[in-house]
């Protein structure tokens, strides 16, 4: 019998649906720790206090979710508002809060090859909105 390897899409969906919630001992209410049963090749949960042992309900021990920023404006460091050498403008109102005080600089969007465009950062410390 040949078993086909699961597709990447299936594995990714499966991994994202798994959650690693803490589990507690039903005998003494202490934290259960993952333990491998090498002979049976099964993940077990064990209590270090009373020795309680049960088969893990979830085979996932650790989940690391990596999410990347797709928005290019999110990569702009808002600390530029504190830089005294940055040029300031009071003619371009912030679309978020309406403040007329902003810092601007020239930059290149990855989506627009070769074209330079101005980037603005609102100087209102409660806003810090970024726009082009």
Which domain CATH number covers 80?
Answer: 2.20.25.10
Q: Which residues are annotated as a binding site for Zn(2+)?
A: 25, 28, 47, 50, 94, 97, 122, 127
Is 3 inside a domain boundary?
no
pTM: 0.45
Q: How many CB atoms lie within 10 A of CB 117?
A: 10
Domain that holds residue 38: 8-55
Band (70; pLDDT cuts 50, 70, 90):
low
Tell me: do 38 and 76 sit in the same domain: no
pLDDT in tens, 85-129: 999 999 999 999 999 999 998 887 766 667 888 889 999 999 999
pLDDT score for 5? 45
Q: Which residues are annotated as a binding site?
A: 25, 28, 47, 50, 94, 97, 122, 127
What total number of domains does the chain contain? 2
- State both tokens at 62: 């650790």
Q: Is the pLDDT assigned to residue 74 strictly greater than 80?
A: no
């Amino acid at each position: 019998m040949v078993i086909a390897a699961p597709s990447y899409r299936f594995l990714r969906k499966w991994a994202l649906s798994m959650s690693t919630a803490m589990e507690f001992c039903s005998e003494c209410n202490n934290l259960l720790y993952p333990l491998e049963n090498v002979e049976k090749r099964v993940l077990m949960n064990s209590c270090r206090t009373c020795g309680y042992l049960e088969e893990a309900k979830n085979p996932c021990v650790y989940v690391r979710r990596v999410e990347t920023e797709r928005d290019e404006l999110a990569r702009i460091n808002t600390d530029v508002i504190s830089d005294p050498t940055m040029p300031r403008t009071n003619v371009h109102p912030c679309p978020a809060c309406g403040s007329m005080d902003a810092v601007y600089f020239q930059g290149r969007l990855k989506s627009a090859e070769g074209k330079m465009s101005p980037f603005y950062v609102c100087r209102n410390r409660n806003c810090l909105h970024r726009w082009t």
